[in-house]
Amino acid sequence: MNKKDSEEDLVGLPDDNGILPAETLAAILASDAYPETTDYTQSIDFIDFDMHGKPFTQVVILLRPKTPRLHKGREIVVVAGEGGKDNGNAFLTTYEKKDGVAPFLARRGVTVAIVPRLGRWNFFDAHGHWTAIPLGDRMPIFSRHDAAYWSRADYTSHASKGQASPTGSNTYRLPVPGSALYDHMLAATPDVIVEGYRRGALHALQKIRKKPEETLLLYWGFSTGGPFLWALCRHLPPAGMLGWATSNTAISYYYTRTLQDRYDWGYENSVLRVRERGRPDFRFYTEYLDDVTRERLWQEALKAPNFKSIEDTMMFFNVAAITEQAGRLWLSDFLPKKDREAGYSAFIQKIMLPCFPADELRDVAVWEMNGTLDQVIQPDKVDAARVVMEPHCKRYRVARLEGYYHNVMHDTMKTVGRLWLKVIDSGHFD
């Protein structure tokens, strides 16, 4: 046995529902399993499209290895969706100013297409960063062709109360009715977000000159990115869903609440709400760090959007909010005639559809993986989501990492990335 094989043997996969112990994870992190094999190129592309009468720009960050890694003759392509406070840049460089998961995979031959959700890229900054915009003034930017950033007359600010998220969001903002911002947010329904993902993923495949069936196509959504990639399976089915701290479908989220005898989730008023993810939220996720380290990371985190907006209504299965948004959009003066042709009922159904599992999941294998100390997607929530989703999927397997938290920090993703490569090699997605 050569050194490479012995190193990769350290990367063990647990039994279904099993826990990889801390000592095993430490050995994987310290090893040279799955070493770098190639350099890569990086590009940022913008895809413009219109939907529901408004223009949108989908961003695609593509990391393309010079020598692709093959699995049974197929290139491995990972389409990645970012967490709630980010816009994909944390996959490139962590808040520690270290390489993120995307370069880690690309240097091992995996093509990575980062597809940020609509509204989260600051088109007034060359890198999409939000540092120049005060935290309390940040609102979604949907098109790269906007002439100027929103003014304070375009939105109102409010103290939060009773929000579903436990993370400490204490401020939210609303667009002013009748403003251009209000209309644009009204048009940004769940199906629009998924359409952006579809266009972004297809663009990445076209750019590397591959059809979906010519690749081992895998999806991974970190945290909030998860529900939208689950929804993308309906339009562009992958071979599998990679899991790390991934939120599941909207209907799965709701099921976790019904198990707690909580039925208020669907009625939360999240219509057009922009929920600030400030210092209290950041502390919630970094409680295990010392104050000096937390402050240093927070200053880097300010480059990210640090808000959630149009994501909440779908992700939290706020069905009352979704139907209100759809109803108001139907009555708007900018909705195109073609959107009305199938009728009001079909219009509402189309907007609601991303909340539910796709029939196409029957051909999709799932590798779900979480840390035992995940602050928001605890083991019981993972198990509840499995109850809802496993009947729809080709196969479903759950793994847990002892002592790991809800993050995409450098060391975390070095370990997670090696586990992913091992799962791929194991044939789980074949």
> Which position has the token pair 């995996």?
110
16: left (phi over 0), alpha (psi -120 to 50) or beta: beta
Distance CA 264, CA 257 (A): 9
- What residues does 64 pair with on adjacent strands? 41
119 pairs with which residues across the strands? 141
Q: Which domains does the chain have, with CATH numbers?
A: 3-152+179-272+309-426 (3.40.50.1820)
Exposed/middle/buried for residue 74 (C-beta within 10 Å: 0-12, 13-18, 19+):
middle
Q: Report helix, strand or coil for 173.
A: strand
Residue 314 buriedness (CB in 10 A; 0-12 / 13-18 / 19+): buried
Instruction: Compute CA 165 distance to the chain's CA centroid, rounded to the nearest angstrom.
Output: 16
Question: CA-CA distance, 426 to 126, in Å (whole number)?
Answer: 40
Q: What does 328-380 look like in DSSP terms, one character per residue? A: HHHTSSSS-HHHHTT-HHHHHHHHHGGGS--GGGGG-EEEEEEETT-SSS-HH
Residue 1's pLDDT is: 47
Please report the pLDDT score of residue 169 as a whole number. Answer: 78
Ordered mean pLDDT values, 10 residues apiece, the chain (430 residues) = 67 94 96 97 98 98 98 97 97 98 98 98 98 97 97 94 69 96 98 98 96 95 97 98 97 93 90 94 94 97 96 94 97 98 97 97 98 96 97 98 98 98 97
First to last CA, the chain: 26
Q: How far apart are alpha carbons 221 and 134 in whole angstroms?
A: 27
